[in-house]
Amino acid sequence: MNAFWCETAVIASDDGDGGLTEVATGVRVETNNGRISAIHTGVQPLPGDTTLAGVAFPAAANAHSHAFHRILRGRTHDGHGDFWVWREQMYRSASELTPEKYQKLATAVFAEMVVSGFSSVAEFHYVHHQPAGAPYAEPHAMELALARAAVSAGIRLTLLDTLYLMGGIGTPLSPDQARFGDADALAWLDRLASLRAAIAEEFPPEAVGVGAALHSVRAVPEEALKIVAKQLPRDIPLHIHLSEQPAENDACMEAYGTTPTGLLERHGLLSSRLSAVHSTHLTPEDIALLGGASTTVVMCPSTEADLADGIGPARELCDAGATIALGTDQHAVIDPWIEMRTLEHGERLGSGQRGRFSPGELLGAATEGATHSMATPIAPQALQVGGVCDLMVINPASTRTAGSRPMQLAFSATASDVTQVVIGGDLIASNGVHARLGAPGALLTEALQEFS
Residues belonging to the active site: 278, 329
The separation between the first and the last C-alpha atoms of the chain, rounded to the nearest angstrom, is 46
Residue type, 142: M
If phi over 0 gives left and psi between -120 and 50 gives alpha, with beta otherwise, what is residue 206?
Answer: alpha
Does residue 141 sit in helix, strand or coil? helix
β 296-299/323-326 pair status: parallel
- Cα–Cα distance for residue pair 260/78, rounded to 1 Å: 32
Q: For residues 216 and 241, is the Cβ–Cβ distance under 8 A? A: yes
Q: Note the maximum CA span of the chain.
A: 68
- Write down the number of H helices and E strands in the chain: 14, 16
Length, in residues, of the chain: 452
196-205 contact pairs (CB < 8 A, 24+): 196/236, 198/140, 198/143, 198/144, 199/143, 199/144, 199/147, 199/159, 202/144, 202/147, 203/147, 203/151, 205/375, 205/376
Strands (E) located in 117-171 = 118-125, 156-163
- Cα–Cα distance for residue pair 148/202, rounded to 1 Å: 9
Q: For residues 275 and 254, is the Cβ–Cβ distance under 8 A? A: no
Q: For residues 167 and 216, is the Cβ–Cβ distance under 8 A? A: no
CA-CA distances (angstroms) from residue 12 to 172, 211, 318? 51, 29, 22
Q: For residues 368 and 34, is the Cβ–Cβ distance under 8 A? A: no
